[in-house]
Structure 1
Amino acid sequence: MLNIIPDEVNFLDCTLRDGGYYTGWDFAPELVSDYVATINILPVRMVELGLAGKPESHGYFASVTSSKAEQVAAGLLVKACVMIDAKDALASELPIPLAMIRLTEGLVPGHITTVRVAAHYSSLAACRNICAELSHRGFRVFLNLMQIDAANAAEIEMCVKEVKQIDTIDVLYIADSFGSMKPTRVQELIGRFAGRIEPDIGFHGHDNRGYALVNSVAAAMAGATWIDCTMGGMGRGAGNTASEQLLPILTRLEPSKERALIEHVLRHFDPLRKRYGWGSSAAYQFAGSNFIHPSYVQKLREGRALSEAAIIRRLSDLRADERMSFANEKLSALMAQDIA
């Protein structure tokens, strides 16, 4: 079955960005230097160094600039990218060109070749000028369609039409933001875009229901040529497709390199996993099955004060219009409930 996966699949490791949802986008220098050395021996095409445009108070890797990239990834042998949140530009009172200048201050093409734009699928058309500005400045543009599993057939078809109107997207990502997808849904969504749009197609998986790995393989089989992964599966909520699981399946990874990858994960990311507790669980599975934003579960699990059953009861109290968008005030209300 795996022999139908094309050889040109590219792997993007986004550990320092997605894993930052647990560490506040700060990582120990030793971890980062070992990470770069490990990436250099792996069949990884690109590394996402973090976010751009967030306040410095969010952490070092939440406001990546070109100078930071030169410092932390000077020895990186593969290409690098950063991610911006489309909402940060669309919600600005400034015109899009000026908002983008502020959002990407300190970024010039060089060590960072690509900017990924995270956008809710319903705001795709509004991202046209964002993509144009980034392309004009010399960056490749990858656009991640967030929460698209919640879209109906008509909305997906509208996304296909809108992508055709944006000629500055290099890769269009299907992002399983809720960790809600099954392999059949992954293949259905990729099939709706494949062969109908110019950009390559990528897939970004989350492991709420334990499907991140199988979904990533399904995406490659369906025609996605960019697949995301993270060390130890570290990422927001339940986490992502683990690099050490995905690469040996979809590449001819030499035993010595697989061992080096596993040792790197054991040395640096297993201790972080024990500290922060990402990974599929009953609460994450419930959230994934009900299109509930993963940050609710992540925050409710902090400190391990609540049982999985108690978390699920709190999640059940969220109204349908509250589930997809994380709100601190709603979280506070959930946490204030008596522990039963």
Structure 2
Amino acid sequence: MLDTERNTINILDCTLRDGGYYTDWNFPPELVSDYVGIINTLPVRMVELGLAGKPKTHGYFANLTSSKAQKMAAALVVEACVMIDAKDVLASELPLPLAVSRLTEGLEPGAITTVRLAMHYKDLAASRKICDELSRRGFRVFVNLMQIDAADAVETETCLKEAEQADTIEVFYIADSFGSMAPARVQALVSRFAARLEPAVGFHGHDNRGYALVNSLTAAKAGATWIDCTMGGMGRGAGNTASEQLLPMLAGLDPCKERGLLEHVLRHFDPLRKQHGWGSSAAYQFAGSNFIHPTYVQKLRAGGTLCDAAIISRLSGLSADERTTFAGERLSALMEQDLT
């Protein structure tokens, strides 16, 4: 186990949210039932049940309501949260309170105690009123600062100053959205935020370069007290820090619980991994090292028609402005590109 006090680290398992990028937020009932059962045996503080406010065309766990959450929370012994996207509010023409209300329709504090607000790190100032509104409605508010590895020194300081002024946010997450971070960068960012902020600091890792686990452990040593993970590492792009790897290292598991966790992953998530193909690879490593949005690789890999070398060749043609934001039109052009 990592040489860190167990009771200072909170583990948040976000399988049903981040893993949903591969299943369109639908999971078999048996998997969900077994997932709740195994979570209840583990030193996990919170479970992210999915997203709120996404179109009805998405799956069950992309538009969580209190009634949906209650069905799971009745069996859960840990806290539950959902995630919403700040851009869905910021892009709305409605007054902010009404935009937040529309996005969280059917969602009340209770079975879900916490809302995590995902935002680009440059949007923190613009998003603080969203956090205030969520807090006014009775939710605890956590923030995921997306793509912050791409921030330069001036942008990082600006973000920190905005964070210092926020008084309704309980946790600021350093989110390695591109899977680009090396441990030294994690150490620098987490320690800087932890030293400056009264709210807690968290870390959300992706495995593009194979660093998700070591980055999560580095973050914990640097002062992060909330760490994310997913079963089998299932998550957008290359995936996340794997629960079955993180928990024994960071929280300590007796052999019986570790075996139960591993058997759960083998039963439910290894077949999904074989089907969908998340995990570190040459293409994901290239994307991570060049701040390329992971959805490009995920979509180009779908169906198995393009090898990693072909994907890298296509990604090399993206301009700096195109790399950080996924665009369906640009993806179509990449898929149709003839490199022969």
TM-score, normalised with respect to structure 1: 0.99
- Looking at structure 2, the residues matched to 161 and 192 of structure 1 have their Cα atoms a distance apart, in angstroms, of 12
Q: Could you say what secondary structure the match of 1:58 adopts?
A: coil
Q: Could you say what secondary structure the match of 2:174 adopts?
A: strand
Q: Which residue of 2 aligns with 1:123?
A: 123
1:232-283 residue CA offsets vs partner (Å, 9 max, x unmatched): 0000000000000000001221110000000000000000000000000000
Bigger drift between 330-339 and 296-305 goes to 330-339
8 Å CA contact 2:6–2:251 kept in 1: the answer is no
Q: Which residue of 2 aligns with 1:88?
A: 88
**Partner AA of 2:304 in structure 1:** R
Cα RMSD between the aligned structures?
A: 1.0
Q: Which residue of 2 aligns with 1:233?
A: 233
Q: Which residue of 2 aligns with 1:317?
A: 317
8 Å CA contact 1:6–1:220 kept in 2: the answer is no
Q: Does 1:215 align with 2:212?
A: no
Q: Could you say what secondary structure the match of 2:280 adopts?
A: coil
Q: Which residue of 2 aligns with 1:279?
A: 279
Q: Which residue of 2 aligns with 1:21?
A: 21
- Looking at structure 2, the residues matched to 174 and 318 of structure 1 have their Cα atoms a distance apart, in angstroms, of 26
Describe how 1:123-162 pairs up with structure 2 within 5 A: 123-162=123-162
1:55-104 residue CA offsets vs partner (Å, 9 max, x unmatched): 11111000001100112332000000000000000000011111000000
- Looking at structure 1, the residues matched to 308 and 6 of structure 2 have their Cα atoms a distance apart, in angstroms, of 40
Q: Which residue of 2 aligns with 1:245?
A: 245
Q: Which residue of 1 aligns with 2:8?
A: 8
Describe how 1:164-179 pairs up with structure 2 within 5 A: 164-179=164-179
For structure 2, list consecutive stretches of 5 or more residues without a partner in the other structure: none
8 Å CA contact 1:5–1:221 kept in 2: the answer is no
Q: Could you say what secondary structure the match of 2:3 adopts?
A: helix
- Looking at structure 2, the residues matched to 87 and 331 of structure 1 have their Cα atoms a distance apart, in angstroms, of 21
- Looking at structure 2, the residues matched to 56 and 231 of structure 1 have their Cα atoms a distance apart, in angstroms, of 25
Q: Could you say what secondary structure the match of 1:177 adopts?
A: coil
8 Å CA contact 1:306–1:339 kept in 2: the answer is no
Q: Could you say what secondary structure the match of 1:115 adopts?
A: strand
Q: Does 1:97 align with 2:97?
A: yes
8 Å CA contact 2:202–2:226 kept in 1: the answer is yes
Q: Does 1:55 align with 2:55?
A: yes
TM-score, normalised with respect to structure 2: 0.99
Q: CA deviation at 1:6?
A: 5.9
Q: CA deviation at 1:195?
A: 2.2
**Partner AA of 1:153 in structure 2:** A
- Looking at structure 1, the residues matched to 241 and 29 of structure 2 have their Cα atoms a distance apart, in angstroms, of 24
Q: Which residue of 2 aligns with 1:335?
A: 335
Q: Which residue of 2 aligns with 1:46?
A: 46
- Looking at structure 1, the residues matched to 50 and 285 of structure 2 have their Cα atoms a distance apart, in angstroms, of 27
- Looking at structure 1, the residues matched to 273 and 3 of structure 2 have their Cα atoms a distance apart, in angstroms, of 33
**Partner AA of 2:311 in structure 1:** I
1:303-323 residue CA offsets vs partner (Å, 9 max, x unmatched): 000011000000000001000
- Looking at structure 2, the residues matched to 255 and 95 of structure 1 have their Cα atoms a distance apart, in angstroms, of 53
Greater than 4 Å deviation, 4+ residue runs: none
8 Å CA contact 2:160–2:193 kept in 1: the answer is yes
8 Å CA contact 1:209–1:284 kept in 2: the answer is yes
Q: Could you say what secondary structure the match of 1:94 adopts?
A: coil
Q: CA deviation at 1:2?
A: 3.2
